[in-house]
Structure 1
Amino acid sequence: MALGHFTFLSAFLALSTACVRANLVSDLLWGLNVTVGGRLSEAKPVALPCFHYYEGQAVQRNDGECAQVEAGYTSPTYRVSRFNDYMMSHWETCQSTSEQCVLDSSNPSNPQAWQEFNCSQGSIAPHYIDVRYPTDVLAAYTFSAATGTPLVIKNTGHDYKGRSSQKGALALWTHNLQSISWSKTFVPQGCPKSKQYAAMTTGAGVGWQTAYEYADANNFTVIGGYHQTVGVSGGWVMGGGHSILTPVYGLGVDRVVQFKIVTPDGIYRTANECQNTDLFWALRGGGGGTFGVVMETTSIVEPHPLFSSASMKFTATANNTQGWLSIVVNSTYKWGTEGWGGHIGPSNLINVTPLLTLDEAKDSLKEASDYVTSQGGTVVIETLPSWWAFFSKYVISAQSAVGQDYLLGSRLMPSALFQSDDGKQKILDALVDMLPVANPYIVVGTPFLYNETAGATSVNPVWYDSLWHLSFHTAFEFDSTLEEKKAAYQAGNDIVKTFRAIAPDSGAYMNEGLVYEPDYQQSYWGSNYDRLLSIKKKYDPFGILDCWQCGKCIVTYAEA
């Protein structure tokens, strides 16, 4: 549906050339605010109350408000409720110039943060719209076209690539689109009644914990992310969307059956397998913030399966991690055929499968559990009645840290590597060599057993014949120098280079890949890239949504 033009913005655009040149941005901001019902707000850094200077001007430190910021600084629920807060705090900063307003995540009350740094806006958009309606999005498109102001889209801020913040941008905050419903007989709009699904529909702001609680209350299972603040409808699903249930049930893009989206050409569209099919294909893997602003997503749900789950951990030493990683590497292919999905580290494992009974699960993991026990560790293998039972018991208390400066890298590891002694040895050697620099984080979240329809999604096809999404992070601190930041980026690149050499024809997960992934077109999309680019040009012919790293002040290093 076409959304038309806006009275206030059109009036300003019709003003005399001299007047527009003199007051264009401020006048259009006023008109924009009226158009969106007063939901245009100014944004300043969340840690500003702790500082004595902001943008070079003296300000009054507020001890009470600062104490609240310090208390919530590493809390995902605190950060998700505020537009000006990001899960990874370096995406609030201008990394190359140290324009920042952040605290010490290891000790948020550390006075060094505000004694050695002045508070600067960094990469936080100075204005944002609290999006409630499709017309809000069109107002932003119109404003961007009139002023040249870049746009960014933010939901929860759970964004490892920094695409949801940008210096000097106008942001669209979709977090308050919190609608949620489900139907046993959902038919995508424009499709025949024979195309019927049990499906859940969520507004763009819904996070996975909310979705899991809703699904459990209604006695079904949804396939989603591993952190409570990951959004259901945003970059997670549009970038692929891995889950530890993905080995059996597919990626997020395999499960979505409809998007509602405002595209940059000013139309509120429904995209599914029966209308706007090219856009539907592109949104199923082409990336968030690329083709428009998604308002809601509908995805297939499952009945509650009975899960077998395993949690193992031991204290790592210089002598026992290699033995553990050897078992993991040598067991991976067998575990893949049994439907196991999960996360594995140098001294821990947490996996689930809906395909094995409890006795079968214990037998499957016997070598691993015997090793963990021999190292004085703990092993719990059990059945759980629902995904929510697993998530609430194991995930909420052990999610990835927030408020820190993590730089991710990843590589998809093809199944063929785990079917030869040479391939397994190369992987093991690389994992062991990585340990002095970074811990491997093995995500067993690829659709290895899922019966996909070839070409139905736009993610790199190598996803469907891989067993690991192998990732890791390097990091820097709030007070790191530019050279230290460069070193962290370079270290990540060097690690991925090793795994790229082992799997040169594979790819990476765009949501958790290197910021400077070389040949990113091939790594993220493979043979799908050219078609994605043509669809992008069709729906965004003037490049209103232009987001190669969103123009960040990111540090560069020798190979960038």
Structure 2
Amino acid sequence: MNLTSWDFSTHYQAFLMKTVPTLLGFSAALGSSFQTVYGVATQEQWKHLGESLQGRLHPATPISAPCFSVVNGQQVRRNESACREVQQGYTNPDFRFPRANAWMFPQSETCQRTLETCLLDSLNPDNSAAWVGKDCKQGSVSPYFIEVTGPEDVQKAFDFAKKTGTYLSIKASGHDYKGRSSLPGSLSLWTANLKSMSYSKTFTPEGGNKTHAAVTLGAGANFEEIYKFADENKFTFIGGYAQTISATGGWGQGGGHSVLSPVYGLGVDRVLEFKVVTPDGKYRTANEFQNQDLYWALRGGGGGTFGVVLESTMSVEPAMSIRVASISVPLNPENAHKFLSLIINETYKWGEEGWGGHMTGNSIINVNPLLTLEEAQKSVKPITDFALANNGTSVVEELPSWQAFFTKYVLSAQAVVGQPTILGSRLIPAALFTNDIGKDQVHNVTYTMLTKYGINPYIVVGPPFRYNYTEGTTSVTSAWRNSLWQIGFNRKWNWNSTVGDIERTYRTVTEVTQLARNITPNSGAYFNEGDTYEPNHEVAFWGDNYPRLLKIKKKYDPDRLLDCWQCVGWNGPADKRFSCYIPPYN
């Protein structure tokens, strides 16, 4: 339903009269579990906002609401056909991406502290136990969202928030693993439909005089779309591994990386220009020639903090062929022990040769844009020999383009989503792979993860090890620049888990991440995939850059209209915005 003037007056005003007229909190009229919009906006102010946006202000309930007979304390008719659509798409990222009320990992849709949820059973979405006799709660899903089409929509939202105290959140693809793009009781700015893409062989940043081969992307353009566009236009875009991630959003602003990043740099290294609406209401161009401080902050400071980025321009590479090594062995403790030893011993050499990719305790899918096929086969021969001697498989091949690799190895292994999932990670310095003591430490951590915790470590070979970085040009932690690995992993919980179950899951993630912290005391973590309860997060995510980032945050957002969990300028867990997170236990 659109909030046109007619819709508002005939359908929505009565709803708002129940939910908005008081200060922040909960609406007794819709049950104590339904969190209203935070702030003191009047009915007239909401009406004016809806009319000014010409149908782009929408109400929202959780994605699974059609399956329930009680939604936010109100009896409703269960919508069988809509529920079936949700059940069929529940674990599919392509289903979740184009929906403003859906996240890839749906803890972001819930209030974890109070178990206010509206989840289906991700292992069996047809399981009626998830909805029979249950109340679908709003959780952390914004009650209203703006379908952003341009800077004016964002400017109106900032003005509205400043006048009324309404909280704002920003969402594109829903690949935010820490819930920073959801906020209970907020007005959401949804940018997923900004899908413009244009390619120029001679892009010149505004105010500059040097040209670049570059692609300009709207905030909603995702990697699957971008890679297809790049292939059609015969260039290579350096991007991430999941097809529904938006390149311009948190990935492009928070240190997003690629399996090609060891040679070609992080996403932030490749951004030439941002178009952004800052909380002071101004639509700005940020590049190395104007608003340079903002440009620096957006190149690593994280999304949802300094403004709403509507467009970014990133440098691209020529079309290229890629060598791929896909090798695996059956997973068991003996195989994992030897396999991890092998890849740890080979890692530094592989880094020098330009390999990037993903590895576990029993597999690698690595890519190389520099070596010939013969050189690549020779490079990974120790792993190939081990795999073939232990009932494993090995394919080392050349593919004609990134798109060919993406189609064969990424889309065909599409990740399942829809189950609450949390991540932990740590950047592993290259120095540890140069001596036996360091190698043993890395092996002990990864093998302990597998044997003690039942976690097969997910090793991302994505740090920009060979990239020719100019010191000080981005704001991510400098730990990226001297690392070879990012060790990551995830833990999940079920739709019917208790608060105690959820808290124990978070504690396990922190405990396992600490194993890696112990051997990397001066390193850091990837902002988008770090522990939700990362201790000393300012140092872990930004290192020495944090004081400068905080100063820039205060300059462009003096009224603190934007805030999110462990973001730059975070007001801390006691802020009522974060009342749905499990309280910190560090």
Relative to the length of structure 2, the TM-score reads 0.90
Alignment check: 8 A CA contact 2:171 2:191 kept: yes
Alignment check: 8 A CA contact 1:123 1:552 kept: no
Task: Determine whether 1:32 maps to 2:49.
Answer: yes
Alignment check: 8 A CA contact 1:261 1:295 kept: yes
Q: How does 1:32-431 map to 2 (within 5 A)?
A: 32-115=49-132, 117-192=134-209, 195-431=210-446
1:176, 1:47 → 2: CA distance?
Answer: 22
Q: What CA deviation, in whole Å up to 9, does each residue of 1:174-229 have, x standing for no partner?
A: 0111110010000001112xx11000000111001100000000000010111011
**2:516 aligned to 499, 519, 539, which one?**
499
- Sequence identity of aligned pairs in percent? 51
- Residue 89 of structure 1, CA deviation: 0.9
- Residue 314 of structure 1, CA deviation: 2.5
Q: Count how many residue pairs are aligned between Structure 1 and Structure 2.
A: 539
SS in structure 2 of the partner of residue 115 of structure 1: coil
Map of 1:463 onto structure 2: 480
Report the residue type matching 1:303 in the other structure. P
- Residue 240 of structure 1, CA deviation: 1.0
- Residue 552 of structure 1, CA deviation: 5.1
Q: What CA deviation, in whole Å up to 9, does each residue of 1:251-286 have, x standing for no partner?
A: 001100000000001100000010000000000000
2:445, 2:337 → 1: CA distance?
Answer: 11
1:33, 1:424 → 2: CA distance?
Answer: 59
- Residue 57 of structure 1, CA deviation: 2.1
Map of 1:477 onto structure 2: 494
1:545, 1:46 → 2: CA distance?
Answer: 25
Q: What CA deviation, in whole Å up to 9, does each residue of 1:20-61 have, x standing for no partner?
A: 989833222211111112100000111111112111222221
SS in structure 1 of the partner of residue 214 of structure 2: strand
Structure 2, unpaired ranges of 5+ = 1-19, 24-39, 567-576
Alignment check: 8 A CA contact 2:50 2:57 kept: yes
Q: What CA deviation, in whole Å up to 9, does each residue of 1:405-432 have, x standing for no partner?
A: 1110110000000001000001101111
Alignment check: 8 A CA contact 1:250 1:447 kept: yes
2:559, 2:327 → 1: CA distance?
Answer: 52
Relative to the length of structure 1, the TM-score reads 0.94
The farther-off stretch of 77-86 and 550-559 is 550-559
2:364, 2:128 → 1: CA distance?
Answer: 38
Report the residue type matching 1:488 in the other structure. T
SS in structure 2 of the partner of residue 500 of structure 1: helix
Alignment check: 8 A CA contact 1:343 1:444 kept: yes
Q: What CA deviation, in whole Å up to 9, does each residue of 1:469-496 have, x standing for no partner?
A: 1111112111111111111000000011
The farther-off stretch of 294-303 and 364-373 is 364-373
The farther-off stretch of 544-553 and 216-225 is 544-553
1:447, 1:400 → 2: CA distance?
Answer: 25
Alignment check: 8 A CA contact 1:439 1:473 kept: no
The farther-off stretch of 474-483 and 266-275 is 474-483
1:77, 1:538 → 2: CA distance?
Answer: 38
1:557, 1:314 → 2: CA distance?
Answer: 39
1:504, 1:399 → 2: CA distance?
Answer: 34
Map of 1:558 onto structure 2: 585
2:80, 2:327 → 1: CA distance?
Answer: 43
SS in structure 2 of the partner of residue 308 of structure 1: strand
Alignment check: 8 A CA contact 1:372 1:378 kept: yes
2:287, 2:416 → 1: CA distance?
Answer: 36
Alignment check: 8 A CA contact 1:203 1:296 kept: yes
Relative to structure 1, the CA distance from residue 477 to residue 27 in structure 2 (aligned partners, 3 Å threshold; closer, same or farther) is same
Relative to structure 1, the CA distance from residue 297 to residue 557 in structure 2 (aligned partners, 3 Å threshold; closer, same or farther) is closer
1:188, 1:25 → 2: CA distance?
Answer: 43
1:243, 1:558 → 2: CA distance?
Answer: 33
What is the RMSD of the two structures over their aligned residues, measured on CA atoms?
1.4
- Residue 116 of structure 1, CA deviation: 5.8
Map of 1:13 onto structure 2: none
Report the residue type matching 2:323 in the other structure. S
Map of 1:14 onto structure 2: none
- Residue 397 of structure 1, CA deviation: 2.0
1:375, 1:514 → 2: CA distance?
Answer: 35
Map of 1:533 onto structure 2: 550
SS in structure 2 of the partner of residue 287 of structure 1: coil
Map of 1:8 onto structure 2: none
Q: How does 1:441-460 map to 2 (within 5 A)?
A: 441-460=458-477
- Residue 557 of structure 1, CA deviation: 5.3
Relative to structure 1, the CA distance from residue 111 to residue 322 in structure 2 (aligned partners, 3 Å threshold; closer, same or farther) is same
Relative to structure 1, the CA distance from residue 20 to residue 484 in structure 2 (aligned partners, 3 Å threshold; closer, same or farther) is closer
SS in structure 2 of the partner of residue 243 of structure 1: coil
- Residue 133 of structure 1, CA deviation: 1.2
